[in-house]
Amino acid sequence: MRNLPAQIGFALLILLTSPKLLWACSVCFGDPSSRAAKSVSIAVLVMLGVIVSMLAGVGATILVWMRRAKKVSEISSSLQD
């Protein structure tokens, strides 16, 4: 782990000096109306949908927990008075 910056630098040097590794996939350079390109577009949208729905679920859970914590705090403060 001590040589991590050197390793990263070496990896970048290899990538920058060999342009074949940096080429895009055949779908990117192919016909945009081909079945493969359409399939990749749909796959990206499905993955985004899954990620967004998961993040929305986590956010909703956090909001519910915040509301419950506020109610518990209000109840405990009213009992102490």
- Per residue in 6-64, pLDDT tens? 888 888 888 778 776 556 666 666 777 888 888 888 999 999 999 999 999 999 999 99
| pLDDT on residue 65 | 97
What are the CA-CA distances from residue 27 to residues 14, 36, 60 (Å)? 24, 7, 37
Domain chopping of the chain, boundaries: 4-80
| pLDDT on residue 20 | 67
- Per residue in 61-81, pLDDT tens? 999 999 999 999 999 888 886
53/57 Cα distance (integer angstroms): 6
Q: Name the band, by pLDDT with cuts 50, 70 and 90, for residue 2.
A: confident
Backbone angles phi, psi at 32, to 5 degrees: -65, -15
Q: Are 36 and 44 within 8 A, CB to CB?
A: no
